[in-house]
Amino acid sequence: MEDSSYTGLPTSHLLGSVPAVITEENNTTKHVATDASVHVFPPNNGDRGTGYQTVGRPTESFEQQPANNWRGVFSISSYSQYFDVDTDVVLIRLISSLNPVAGDFFSKIDANPDLYGLIWISTTLVFVLAALGNLATFLMQKHADNSTSWSFDVSYMNVAACSIYGYAIVVPLAYYFFLQYMGSNASLIRFWCMWGYSLTIFIMSSFLLIIPVEFLRWVIILLTGVASASFVALNLRSYIEGNELSVAIIAAFFLQIALAIFIKVWFFP
């Protein structure tokens, strides 16, 4: 009897309420899925710095991101891209700077010119000239007078810093503005990179200039100047075009020779 009593209960109102509940849940579920921010992992590697891509987010927003990372002159992050080099890349460029007749340095740095070489090669040369210049002067004085005592001349450091940093920064900057004025293709970062690496050979030759033989010193510094000048001139010739710009290439050659003579006269007298 109990089974029959339960069976006899009216259930029409119960059956009608179940679809209503299901419909409400479906509507709620659809509403949440539409407005939720679902992230796709991993981020889109084709566009750096865009972060996670949201489903339903228009792809045009990624394509409209700026291509460069320049954030202003006084922002450190603007220059980080010019220091994104590893040891192998720097070594390859150092070796290339010691081959003055190749003339293909710009093709090697075209994808990623760096300022790392400009800063550290110049800084190394400053300290090398100050230290070895004092040592060479002492050896020459000791050779002439055995009673000479060692003394460090601080002015060598000041002159080295002003001359090397000034040359490595101002000369490429002047060439950049000159070539822009002449309507030729020019890149300041590439010029700074090339002139920075052109100073590598002066670091190596400075260790030979401590030999207390004046004639041998002049031979070493002149060969060094010619090698560095040839590296700069031949790469400039491969980079710029036009017969009217040949004067600029010749001037770059003699500027490197003048730097070599200045190093000899001031630091290794």
Q: Which runs of consecutive H residues, i.e. helices, occur in 57-208?
A: 60-63, 87-97, 105-109, 116-144, 155-181, 188-197, 200-208
Q: Is the pLDDT of residue 247 over 80?
A: yes
Q: Is the pLDDT of residue 269 over 60?
A: yes
How far is the C-alpha of 112 from the C-alpha of 115, rounded, in Å?
10
For all residues of the chain together, what is the average pLDDT? 77
What is the rounded average pLDDT of the residues 169-178? 94
pLDDT higher for 16 or 129?
A: 129
Q: Is the pLDDT of residue 10 over 90?
A: no
The 10s digit of each residue's pLDDT in 106-149 is 888 888 888 998 999 999 999 999 999 999 888 888 777 777 77
Q: How far is CA 204 from CA 4, 56, 70, 120, 149, in A?
A: 108, 60, 36, 14, 27
In 3-state terms, the chain is what percent helix, strand and coil (to 5)? 70, 0, 30
Taking the CA atoms of residue 77, residue 82, residue 83 and residue 86 in that order, the dihedral angle to the nearest 10 degrees is 140
What is the rounded average pLDDT of the residues 212-221? 92
Confidence grade of residue 56 (pLDDT, cut at 50, 70, 90): very low
Q: Looking at the whole model, is its pTM more than 0.95?
A: no
What is the rounded average pLDDT of the residues 63-74? 49
For the chain, the domains span 85-94+103-267
Q: Is the pLDDT of residue 65 over 90?
A: no
Q: Is the pLDDT of residue 71 over 50?
A: yes
How far is the C-alpha of 251 from the C-alpha of 255, rounded, in Å?
6
Q: Is the pLDDT of residue 163 over 90?
A: yes
